[in-house]
């Protein structure tokens, strides 16, 4: 294993823990000597990794440190390219699509030449398929989800009847032919799914819904028998 790969593995081990881990435990996990571990930690700290701790007490990586893109493997680069292209091609929100393109552009700009060429020449293609156009700004929904705020929507049902709903959105699902927002519906007093292309009006509010998004997501998964992400 190269030293660069070892440093990456060390960072990943620290990122996966929220409590300090001792030097001997880290060295054993990486299959290196304790002296090599101390040198690696010193190298990462010199490169800007906010690792705190000392021999005998353990080490922890403070949140906020990001891995340099040059440490991505070829497979990881292809996964990033494929995911970004999928969002750019399939999102029904212009801002989300543009953001995916910009993010991919920023990543490729700082890659080493070999990986940049591989990213630009990848043979992974995302097909464009027809989606029912949305008449509202889906960015309003995403912002409400991030901030845990209620939304007031006008929704057209399968029978073309429109109703006004106050919902607590917590998830947007991207499917082949439609985009759905999962939410608690005050009118129905239960979890419901709303096709974004059938929402004719959306009004943001500053009212925080009374439950945490993570709690509702867990309940929704149990109710819908949806397994947690891998």
Read out DSSP for 163-217?
EEEEEEEEEEEE-SS-EEEEEEETTTTEEEEEEGGGEEEEEEEEEEPSS-HHHHH
pLDDT in tens, 4-46: 778 878 888 888 787 889 999 999 989 999 999 999 998 888 8
With a cut of 70, list the residues of the chain below it in pLDDT.
Answer: 1-2, 64-72, 90-94, 109-112, 114-115, 118, 121-133, 228-230
Quote the tokens at residue 188.
Answer: 């129905």
The residue whose two tokens read 């989800």 is 145
Q: What is the pLDDT of residue 69?
A: 47
* Torsion angles phi and psi, residue 131, rounded to 5: -120, 145
pLDDT in tens, 134-148: 788 888 998 999 999
Pairing of strands 179-185, 51-54: unpaired
Supply the pTM of this predicted model.
0.59
Average pLDDT, the chain: 83
Quote the tokens at residue 182.
Answer: 């999962």
């Amino acid at each position: 294993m190269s030293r660069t790969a070892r440093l990456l593995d060390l960072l990943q081990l620290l990122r996966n823990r929220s409590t300090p881990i001792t030097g001997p435990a880290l060295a054993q996990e990486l299959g290196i000597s304790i002296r090599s571990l101390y040198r690696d930690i010193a190298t990462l700290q010199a490169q800007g990794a906010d690792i705190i701790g000392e021999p005998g007490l353990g080490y922890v990586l403070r949140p906020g440190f990001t891995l340099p893109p040059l440490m991505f493997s070829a497979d990881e680069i292809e996964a990033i390219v494929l995911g970004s292209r999928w969002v750019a091609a399939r999102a029904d929100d212009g801002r989300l699509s543009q953001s995916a393109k910009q993010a991919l552009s920023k990543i490729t700009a700082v890659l080493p030449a070999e990986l940049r060429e591989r990213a630009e020449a990848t043979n992974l293609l995302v097909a464009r398929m027809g989606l029912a156009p949305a008449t509202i700004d889906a960015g309003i929904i995403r912002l409400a989800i991030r901030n845990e705020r209620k939304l007031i929507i006008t929704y057209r049902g399968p029978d073309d009847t429109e109703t006004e709903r106050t919902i607590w959105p917590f998830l947007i699902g991207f499917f082949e032919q439609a985009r759905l927002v999962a939410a608690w519906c005050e009118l129905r007093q239960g979890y419901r799914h709303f096709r974004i292309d059938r929402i004719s009006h959306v009004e943001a509010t500053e009212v925080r819904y009374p439950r945490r998004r993570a709690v509702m997501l867990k309940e929704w998964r149990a109710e819908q028998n949806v397994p947690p992400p891998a």
